[in-house]
Structure 1
Amino acid sequence: MRSTHTPPTAVSSRPARTLAAWAQALPLTTVFALFFLIPLALVLMVSFWDYSQYQLLPDFTFKNYVAVFEGCLSGPELCTTLKTYLSTFKFCLLVWGLTLVIGFTVSYFLAFHVKSSSMQVILFVLCTIPFWTSNVIRMIAWVPLLGRNGLVNGVLVSSGAVDEPVDWLLFSDFSVVLAFVHLFTTFMIVPIFNSMMRIDRSLIEAANDSGASDWQTLWNVIVPLCRTGIIIGSIFVITIVMGDFVTIGVMGGQQIASIGKIIQVQTSYLQFPLAAANAVVLLAIVLMIIWALTRMVDIRKEL
C-alpha cells in the first residue's frame, strides 16, 4: 500500500500565500472600514441617542424610532412617514421604468445596430458626457426651458397649443421625474450595454434561422441574457433615487416630500439622532430591495 506524501515545500508555502493574500486585501479592507463600516456604525449609534435643542445626549433610547413612525398605527389615515415613503417609491418606480426603457433601447441600438467598433465607442462616450458637468448645473439648465416664461411655454403659446403658459412643467412631479431620468439614465445604459456586448452573436443567428421574429428573439434571447445588466442598473437607479434630496429640492421647488429631503431638513435643524434613525430605516428598506433584486440573478456567477 503506497502512502501519499505532501512535499514539505507545498506545506510551507501555504502560510506565505495566506499572508500575501491578506496583504493584498488589506488596503481595500482599510478603505472599506474607514469610509463605510465606521461611519455606518456611528450613524447606527447616534440613532439611539437623545438630543436637546443645542446638544446631543449620549443615551440608549428608542424614542427616535418611535418618532419616525408616530401616528402610523393610531388611525385609518396614513402617517407622515408612510406618505413620504409612498411618494419616494412613486418617483423610484417612474424613474426606474423610464430609465430602463431608454437605457435598454440605447444599449440595444449601440450593441446590435452600430457595426463599427470605433463608432460604438464614440456614441458610448457621448452617453457619458453628462457626467462631465455638475448635477446641479444640469438641473438648473431645465429652469429656463420649463419655466412659465421659458422656451417650452413660449413655443406652446405662440403655436396656439395652449392659451396661457403651463404651470406644471416646472416645480412639479413632472420636472422631478424628468431631471431624475436625465441624470441617471447613464447608470442603466452602462451595465445593460456591457451585458449585450457579451452575448454570443451566434445565438441571435440561431434564433433567426429557427424562424423567430425580431420580437421573439428580443424577448426570449436578448432580455434573459441581459438580466445581470438590468438588475445592476436597477440597483444603481433605485438606491440613488431613494436617498436623493437635491434633485427633489431643486426641481420640486422645495414643495415635494421625500425621505431623503426629510433627513436633510432634520440635519439642518440639528436633529441628528432623529435623522440617523430615519437613515437607518431607509438603509434597511434599500437593503431589502437590493436583496430582492439580487435573488433574481446570481450577479457574482454571471459577471
Structure 2
Amino acid sequence: MVTVRFIGAGDPQKRWMRRPLPSWLPPYLQAAPLWLILGFFLALPLAMIVTVSFWDYDFAQMYPGFLTMNYTETLGSWVTWKTYLNTLKYAAIVWAITLVIGFWVAYFLAFHIRSAAMQMVLFLVCTVPFMTSNIIRMISWIPVLGRNGLVNGALIAAHIVPQPIEWLLYSDFAVVLAMVHLYTLFMVTPIFNTLMRIDRALIEAARDAGASAWQILVNVILPLARPGMAIGTIFVVTLVMADFSTVQVMSGGQSASVALMMKNEMSLLQYPAAAANAVILLIVVLSLVAAILRGVDIRKEL
C-alpha cells in the first residue's frame, strides 16, 4: 500500500522550499558592495565638484545656480593656459627621467640579481625612503641644494665653481629633482613586476638565435615591458599633475602648477573657481590616461 503525502500551505516543510534566484542576480549582488563604496567615495564627490563648478560666489559665500562663468574665466585666461603648460612640462620631464631610472633599476633587479631573496631585499631597500613623509623627503633637499648647502660647499671646496650656484634651489631644477626623488619608485614597481613575468626561455631562444644583448633588450624585453611602463606612466603623470606642495616649496613661490593654483583659490574661498579648474584638470588627466590605454593593453598586468 502506497501512502501519498500532500504538502499544504501550512505544512512546516513549505518554509524550507525556496525558489532559486534568477541567474542574472548573483553577479550584481557580489558587485553591490564595491559599487556602493565607489559611488559614495568617488562618484558622489565628483558629482559635487562638478555641481559646485557652476555656482556663483563672492568673498563671503557661494550661490547655487548654473553659470559657465568659472569655465569661461579659466579657459579665457592666458595665465591659466601658461600654468597648464608649465604643469605638463613638469609631468613630461619627470616622466622621462623616472622612466629611464625606473626601467634600469627594475632591469638590474630582474635580470642581474639571481637570488629571489636578494631581489626582495634590494627592492625593500628602494622602499625605505617611503617610510617617511613626502614633505620631509622634499624639504631634505633644501640643505643639500641651498646656497650654503652640501653641493655648493663641495663644488667650491673642489675649486669647480668660484661662487655658489644659485639655480640649484628655488628653481624648476629643484622642483624636477624633488619630484623624481618622490615618484621614481612608482615607476620601478610596475616595471619590475612586468619584467619578473617575462619567460626566461624567450631570452634564451633569442640568444640561441644569435641575437646580441642590445637586440634582446630592444626586440624582446622592451616590448614585453610596455604594460608595466604604461602603468608606471599613469602613476607618475597623475601624481605630478596633482602635486602642489613640491612646486610651492622647491620653487620658492617662483613657479606655478594647476594644483597650486587650485590650492590658492581655495585659500581665498573661491571654491567654484577651484572646482572648475579641478574638472578641467580631471579631463586633461583622463585624456592622457585614455591615450596611454589606447596604445598599451594593461589588463593582463592588473
1:174 equivalent in alignment to 2:173: yes
Distance in 2 (alpha carbons) for counterparts of 1:174 and 1:126? 26
Deviation at 1:16, TM superposition (A): 6.0
1:176 alignment partner AA = V
Q: Which amino acid aligns with 1:66?
A: T
8 Å CA contact 2:90, 2:176 repeated in 1: yes
Maintained 8 Å contact 2:191/2:229: yes
Deviations 1:54-76 (A, max 9, x none): 000001000000110224xxxxx
Q: Secondary structure at the match of 1:15?
A: coil
- Determine which of 14, 23, 34 is the counterpart of 2:29: 23
Instruction: Report SS of the residue matched to 2:227.
Output: helix
| TM-score of the superposed pair, with normalisation by structure 1 | 0.91
**In structure 2, do the counterparts of structure 1 residues 206 and 278 end up closer, same or farther at CA, with 3 Å as the change threshold?**
same
Give the Cα–Cα distance (whole angstroms) in 1 for the partners of residues 136 and 26 of structure 2. Answer: 46
Question: Which residue of 2 is the match for residue 145 of structure 1?
Answer: 144
Which residue is 2:8 aligned to? none
Structure 2, unmatched stretches of 5+, are 1-17
Q: Contact 2:228 / 2:301 at 8 angstroms: preserved in 1?
A: no
**How far did residue 14 of structure 1 move?**
7.2
> What's the CA shift for 1:17?
5.8
User: Is the partner of 1:168 in helix, strand or coil?
Assistant: helix
1: CA distance, partners of 2:20 / 2:289: 37
1:59 counterpart letter in structure 2: G
Q: How far did 1:302 drift?
A: 5.3
Partners of 2:57 and 2:167 lie apart in 1 by 40
Q: Tell me the residue number matched to 1:101.
A: 100
State yes or no: 1:300 paired with 2:280.
Answer: no
Normalising by structure 2, we get a TM-score of 0.91
Q: Which residue of 1 aligns with 2:193?
A: 194
Unaligned segments of structure 1, at least 5 residues: 1-11, 72-78
> How far apart are the structure 2 equivalents of 1:174 and 1:302?
34
Q: Within 2, Cα distance between the matches of 1:197 and 1:159? A: 43
In structure 1, what is the equivalent of residue 41 of structure 2?
A: 35
Aligned to 1:70: 76
2:278 aligned partner: 279
| Superposed displacement of residue 90, structure 1 | 0.9
Q: Secondary structure at the match of 1:171?
A: coil
Counterpart residue number, 1:241: 240
1:74 maps to what in 2? none
After superposition, the CA RMSD in angstroms is: 1.5
The structure-2 alpha-carbon separation of the partners of 1:118 and 1:168, relative to structure 1 and needing over 3 Å to count, comes to same
Report how far residue 130 of structure 1 moved: 1.9
Q: Give the letter for the 2:205 counterpart.
A: A
Are residues 206 and 44 of structure 1, via their aligned partners in 2, closer, same or farther at CA, if it must alter by over 3 Å? same
Q: Does 1:90 align with 2:89?
A: yes
TM-superposition CA deviations, 1:74-104 (whole Å, max 9, x none): xxxxx11111111111111110000000000
Matched residue SS, 1:54? coil
Matched length? 285
CA distance in 1, matches of 2:300, 2:100: 25
Q: Distance in 1 between matches of 2:145 and 2:264?
A: 27
The separation in 2 between residues aligned to 1:137 and 1:24, in whole angstroms, is 42
What percent identity do the matched residue pairs reach?
55
Q: Tell me by how many angstroms 1:233 deviates.
A: 0.3
- Counterpart in the other structure of 1:203: 202
Change in Cα spacing, 1:81 to 1:198, as seen in structure 2 (3 Å) is same
Letter in 2 for 1:114: I
The equivalent of 1:52 in structure 2 is 58
Partners of 2:107 and 2:23 in 1: CA distance: 44
Does the residue aligned with 2:280 lie in a helix, a strand or coil? Answer: helix
* Separation in structure 1 between the aligned mates of residue 23 and residue 225 of structure 2, nearest angstrom: 37
Q: Distance in 2 between matches of 1:287 and 1:264?
A: 21
Q: In the aligned structure 2, how far is the partner of 1:264 from the partner of 1:298?
A: 35
Q: Is the 8 A contact 2:97 2:180 kept in 1?
A: yes
Contact 2:228-2:298 at 8 Å conserved across structures:
no
- 2:194–2:301: 8 Å Cα contact kept in structure 1? no
Superposed CA deviations along residues 267-288 of structure 1, whole A, max 9, x for unmatched, are: 1000000000011001001000
Q: Which amino acid aligns with 2:141?
A: W
What residue is the counterpart of 2:4 in the other structure?
A: none
- Indicate yes or no: 2:268 matched with 1:269: yes
Q: Equivalents in 2 of 1:207, 1:247: separation in Å?
A: 44
Relative to 1, partners in 2 of residues 1:134 and 1:13: Cα closer, same or farther, differing over 3 Å? farther
